[in-house]
Amino acid sequence: MVPADPWPLPRNPTVADHIVHRLACWGVRRYFGYPGDGINGMTSALQRTHQQAQFIQVRHEETAGFAASAHVKYGGGPLGAILVTSGPGAIHALNGLYDAKLDHQPVVALVGHTALTAEGGGYYQEVDLLALYKDVAAAFLAQLDHPSQVRHLVDRACRTALARRTVTALVLPLDVQDEPAVPDPPHAHGFYHTSSVPSSGPTVPPEADVRHAAEVLRSGERVAMLVGQGAIGAENEVREIAHRLGAGVATALLGFTVVDHREPWVTGAIGLLGTRPSWQLMRECDRLLIVGSNMPYSEFYPPPGQARAVQIDHDGTQLGLRYPTEVNLTGDAAPTLRALLHELGPGPGPTRWRQTIAGATAAWRQAQRELAEQDADPVNPQRLFVSLSERLPDNVMLAVDCGTTTAWYARHIKVRPGMLASLSGTLLSMGGGMPYALAAKLAHPDRPLVALIGDGAMQMNGVNELITVAKYWRDWADPRFVVLVLNNRDLAFVSWEQRSTEGTPMFPDSQQLPDIAYHRWAEVLGLRGDLVDHPDQVNDAWDRALQADRPTVINALVDPAELMMPPHFTADQVRKTAAAMLRGDTDWAGIIRRGLPTMVTTYRPRR
């Protein structure tokens, strides 16, 4: 198959024109970045495409990396791309690019560099980019030194990013960008003629292996499933497999949208921020099927030897890394699950195991709702998430930052089919929520979006990227872009980690944050702002925001003492939290006020 020509190259094209054109053959039409003289040739080339390729100007290059990762996650295109300048721009971009690498998202980084004629002379902004990017772009990293290299370097960068689902990078010296292009290298020694047709991926494992997996799973009486982002696109197959095996299904956070969280057999998130039913599911199962997940917390898997396990992943190097699996199937989730269904035969019908799962899940959900309805000072943050979950439009997109917002999202938001949601799932970086929200909205400007962000992340980059929202929102078919800021004046997640793992009190110099009127900042930018400082205001604030004619920031003043109880609270965690209080934690009264009812509600026996 010969790739379609996206548009004619301009007369007398430059190397930069050729790069943009060749990337378009791979589906790259949107670049996230910030301009600088190290990429002037590239930005000029983008201008010459007459908006057939789009440059999205963010406020910081870190946002560009996050947004390129999210561009793929939210279905904006097969490849994410960033375009950043030399030196400081390249350095800034790394955190966002590591998010893409760790979450296995294909992203191509285009990084400007010192002119070839000046390299090695200590020029302004000269940084050893090949050394700097050696890890994040380990799969493929190259510097373009001659116009005839464009085709094969772009093709290899894109093919590798797609095939290995990772970050690749091209270093572009400034002077080379403006040299005359060589669209067709000579048919001669030392030159390459490459293809821009993507490679086919793995599909279905050998039949004998699938049959072996079916035998293992079919012989169990208490089957558990763990699904991650690798199961996205196989939602129907996951549901059918779960019914056929009579299984309960837990989800990694990146796989949240794979299942309908209203179902009684869906136990929800797994891990430290997960649910108690997911913990019980893993503690009591005798068979485990892992689909597209590599959730790394080993203590949340079944104890070794308890369950016979099967794992499915398109990357064979990721199999058997978290649990001693008996059958490892390398293949795409959907066709592999269909092959497995064929081998499994009829299901067991209603089982006592499914009833146990449903009972535990219903009890947990009721307990969480009771927690959200409890009084706090001034507002219980969990109430905001329960209220939102009841109001989410069917086609909503959710962007979640890392911190306490992640916990409340994992426990209270009932994601339904048709919704999109994601976060920095492996790097777990603060500051990813707003870039994710921007990328999602640019990919689907006709869908509503809700970003769930803590005040730490909002101060880190959210207040700046709200300027980007103000720059672009009038181009969106659906202007609804709602940012919830949990304003508790505390880096609360880290504060709780210090208490429960170190036994040390909250350190105000490190943890306390300035109290910012985020809703007022939104109004300064021409957006809507809403202050929530009483629980009776929560429902109306969501209703107004989800009906607004422009983006809205909800500044919610919430209780910093609200506890994130893990699904299994250990005696050591209790002891260390108590020690933190005895050592003079500044919020000891709040911990007692919210801790006792939270523990009683979370862990009391229920029928």
pLDDT tens for each residue of 317-367:
999 999 999 999 999 999 999 999 999 988 777 789 999 999 999 999 999
Residue of 409, 382, 402, 506 lying closest to 458 (CA atoms): 402
Q: What is residue 449's predicted lDDT score, i.e. its pLDDT? A: 98
Q: What is residue 576's predicted lDDT score, i.e. its pLDDT? A: 56
Question: Would you call 346 exposed, middle or buried from its count of C-beta atoms within 10 A (0-12, 13-18, 19+)?
Answer: exposed
Q: What is residue 193's predicted lDDT score, i.e. its pLDDT? A: 83
At 489-530, the pLDDT tens digits run 988 877 767 776 777 777 788 889 999 999 999 999 999 999
Q: What is residue 2's predicted lDDT score, i.e. its pLDDT? A: 42
The residue type of 491 is L
| Of 582 and 103, more confident | 103
Structure tokens at 306: 């308890």
Structure tokens at 127: 């940084």
Q: Is the pLDDT of residue 1 over 70?
A: no
Residue of 554, 553, 235, 546 lying closest to 392 (CA atoms): 546
Place of tokens 């980007």: 468
What residues are paired with 454 via a beta bridge?
A: 486
**DSSP assignment of 105-146:** --EEEEEEE--GGGTTS--TT---HHHHTTTTTTT-EEE--S
Task: Compute the distance between CA of residue 291 and CA of residue 431 in angstroms, rounded to an integer.
Answer: 28
At 366-410, the pLDDT tens digits run 999 999 999 999 999 999 999 999 999 999 999 999 999 999 999
Q: What is residue 429's predicted lDDT score, i.e. its pLDDT? A: 95
Q: Is the pLDDT of residue 196 over 50?
A: yes
pLDDT bracket for residue 588 (50, 70, 90): very low
Q: Is the pLDDT of residue 603 over 60?
A: no
Q: How many CA atoms lie within 13 A of 532 on its CB side?
A: 29
Q: What are phi and psi of 232, to 5 degrees?
A: -65, 130
Q: What is residue 587's predicted lDDT score, i.e. its pLDDT? A: 60
Question: Would you call 38 exposed, middle or buried from its count of C-beta atoms within 10 A (0-12, 13-18, 19+)?
Answer: buried
What residues are paired with 81 via a beta bridge?
A: 108
**DSSP assignment of 321-344:** SSS--SEEEES-HHHHHHHHHHHH
Q: Is the pLDDT of residue 568 over 70?
A: no
Residue of 405, 422, 388, 591 lying closest to 498 (CA atoms): 591
Q: What is residue 503's predicted lDDT score, i.e. its pLDDT? A: 73
Average per-residue pLDDT in the chain? 92
Q: What is residue 394's predicted lDDT score, i.e. its pLDDT? A: 95
**428: how many CB neighbours lie within 10 A of its CB?**
15
Task: Compute the distance between CA of residue 72 and CA of residue 139 in angstroms, rounded to an integer.
Answer: 18
| Average of per-residue pLDDT across 112-129 | 92
Task: Compute the distance between CA of residue 184 and CA of residue 275 in angstroms, rounded to an integer.
Answer: 57
Place of tokens 């979006």: 449
Q: What is residue 322's predicted lDDT score, i.e. its pLDDT? A: 93
Question: Would you call 13 exposed, middle or buried from its count of C-beta atoms within 10 A (0-12, 13-18, 19+)?
Answer: buried
Task: Compute the distance between CA of residue 401 and CA of residue 431 in angstroms, rounded to an integer.
Answer: 6
Residue of 282, 247, 218 lying closest to 354 (CA atoms): 247
Q: What are phi and psi of 124, to 5 degrees?
A: -55, 135
Q: What is residue 150's predicted lDDT score, i.e. its pLDDT? A: 97
Task: Go through the chain and tell me how many residues it has.
Answer: 607
The residue type of 365 is R
- Count the helix, strand and coil residues of the chain and give each as a percent rounded to the nearest 5: 45, 15, 40
